[in-house]
């Protein structure tokens, strides 16, 4: 299941952050694939590169890594399946963009209430 395969209401994290409220079972099932996808250093770098631009062609991503084109495609596929990036084929190239809604959900989960953290 992708982080974005839900209604807008279901995309809301029902907890207020890991440091404040325990994650529900439903949220854990929905969010774990995205966190797992970002847990790999190559995919984390790829997601960061894609997020820094409105969109990137795979031909702009691949040169940053010393990996085969098949491995690059595999990593991008996992990011796409996790709902972190979107893609569109245009001719012989595939273009990728970050799914900002997915980052917002993860940001909510990982946010820390500074008042509670200091207390």
Domain residue spans in the chain?
8-118
pLDDT at 2: 66
Per-residue pLDDT tens over the stretch 1-47: 566 665 555 555 555 567 777 888 888 898 999 999 999 999 999 99
Q: What is the CATH number of domain 8-118?
A: 1.10.10.10
Torsion angle defined by CA atoms of residues 75, 78, 80 and 83, in that order, rounded to the nearest 10 degrees: -140
Residues 38, 43: Cα–Cα separation, whole Å: 6
Question: Average model confidence (pLDDT) for the chain?
Answer: 86
Dihedral sign for Cα atoms in the order 28, 33, 101, 106: positive
Q: Give the single-character DSSP code of 68.
A: -
Phi and psi angles of residue 23, each rounded to the nearest 5 degrees, phi first: -70, 135
pLDDT at 24: 85
- H/E run at residue 90: strand 85-90
Please tell me the pTM assigned to this model.
0.81
């Amino acid at each position: 299941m992708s982080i974005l395969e839900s209604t807008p209401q279901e995309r809301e994290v029902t907890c207020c952050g890991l440091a404040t409220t325990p994650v529900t079972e439903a949220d854990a099932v929905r969010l774990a694939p995205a966190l797992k996808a970002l847990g790999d250093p190559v995919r984390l770098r790829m997601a960061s590169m894609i997020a820094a631009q409105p969109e990137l062609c795979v031909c702009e991503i691949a040169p940053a890594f010393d990996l085969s084109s098949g491995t690059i495609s595999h990593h991008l596929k996992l990011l796409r399946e996790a709902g972190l990036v979107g893609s569109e084929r245009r001719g012989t190239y595939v273009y990728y963009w970050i799914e900002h809604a997915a980052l917002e959900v993860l940001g909510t989960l990982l946010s820390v209430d500074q008042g509670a953290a200091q207390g």
